Amino acid sequence: MRLLRFGEPRQEKPGILDDNGVIRDLSGIIPDITPATIDDGLMDRLRDVDLESLPAVDSAVRIGPCVNRPGKIVCIGLNFKDHADEAGMERPSEPIIFMKATTSICGPSDNIILPRGYKKVDWEIELGVVIGQRASYLDEASAADVIAGYCLVNDISERSFQLDRNGQWTKGKSADTFCPLGPWLVTKDEIRDPGNLHMHLELDGQVYQDSSTAQMIFHVPALVSYVSHFMTLEPGDIIATGTPAGVGMGQTPQVYLKPGSQLVLKIAGLGEQRQTAVELDDLKAVG
C-alpha cells in the first residue's frame, strides 16, 4: 500500500494510491495517518478495502507529509560509505545518532524556506523507516516486525549552523521546512529489499546524488535494533538512515541552495519530491 495525506497544510486528509495511481480518499475509514492510527492496526484495517469504492481525489491536490505529527525523527549520520569518504571522515564503528525537530516536517513538494542567517543550506536524500509498533531493546532479527513501512526524506541541513556554531548537529537540521517527508508511506510488504534501492537527486537539472542504499554501512535491521537500545521506538517515529555521496558540502567548490534553487529527489518505489528554495521574509512568520 502507498498511503499519503493530501490537502492544505494542517488540513490534510488521509489517502491511498490505487493500482492506477489515482488518489483515493480514506477519511471515511480513518481520521488521519498518525502515530495513533498506525498503532491502532492501520495496515490491517486497510488491507481488504475496495479502493475503487472510495472517492477519487483531484491529482493536482497538494500532498502533505505522509505521517502527521510523528513523535520523533531519529537521524543517522555518516551511514554511507561514499558519503563518509567524500566528507573526509572515518567510517563510523557504530551508528551516529542525532535528532531533527518534528517542526521541520513539511510536504514533499513544499518550498524549502532558507532560514534567517543562512549561509550553507545543503540537501541530503535519505530512506526513512516508519516505525509501526512500540519497541525497545530489539535484536536485529526482530527489527522487521516493528517496521510499518518506508518513505522518502530530504534531510535539509544548514552546514554553518551545524558545524560552525559550537557543535550539536540538531540545530543545523531543524529549521522549518527542513524535513520534506513523503509523498508516500509505502508499507514494508511493497519494498522487498530496503538495502538495495536506487537514490537520485538533482539540483537545477544537474545530478548530484546517484547512488543506492547498498552503500549503507549499517543497514535497516541493524539501525532499528541499535536505536531501540537508546530510546523506545513508538508508532509513527521516523528513522532517517543517512545520505550517499553528492551533497553540496562535498563539491569542489562547495554548492549550496540559494533562492530559486530547485531540487528533485527520487528513491525507487518511494516516489518523488520536488522543492524550490525561497528566502524567509523577515516580516512574515512561518505558518
Mean per-residue pLDDT, 9-15: 97
Confidence of residue 284 (pLDDT cuts 50, 70, 90): low
Neighbours of 229 (CB within 10 A): 10
Which is higher by pLDDT, 244 or 165?
244
> Does the pLDDT at position 108 exceed 70?
yes
CB atoms within 10 A of CB 185: 28
Distances, alpha carbon 157 to alpha carbons 41, 93, 100, 177, 249, in Å? 34, 23, 10, 11, 10
CB 171 within 8 A of CB 235: no
46-82 tens-digit pLDDT: 999 999 999 999 999 999 999 999 999 999 999 999 8
Could you tell me the three cell numbers for 261? 534553487
Query: Across the strands, what pairs with 22?
Result: none
Q: Which of 77, 273, 249 is nearest to 180 (CA)?
A: 273
The pLDDT of residue 59 is 93
pLDDT 10s digits, 114-127: 999 999 999 999 99
Confidence band of 136 (pLDDT split at 50, 70, 90): very high
The whole-angstrom separation of Cα 160 and Cα 170 is 12
pLDDT, one tens digit per residue, over 215-251 is 999 999 999 999 999 999 999 999 999 999 999 999 9
Of 3.40.50.300, 3.90.850.10, 2.60.120.10, 3.90.1150.10, which CATH number belongs to 69-279? 3.90.850.10
Which cell is 258 given? Answer: 540559494
Its pTM stands at: 0.95
pLDDT tens digits, residue range 79-95? Answer: 999 888 887 888 999 99
What is the predicted pLDDT for the residue at 163? 85
CA nearest to 199, candidates 147, 150, 265, 279: 265
- Cβ neighbours for 50, distance < 8 A, ≥ 6 positions apart: none
- Span 252-264, average pLDDT: 97
CA distance 272 to 265: 6
Is residue 286 predicted with pLDDT exceeding 80? no
Q: What is the mean pLDDT of residues 196-214?
A: 98
Amino acid identity of 232?
Answer: T
Q: What is residue 85's predicted lDDT score, i.e. its pLDDT?
A: 85
Helices (H), the chain: 35-39, 42-46, 81-86, 140-143, 159-163, 220-228
Looking at residue 228, its amino acid is: S
CA distance linking residue 245 with residue 34, whole number of Å: 32
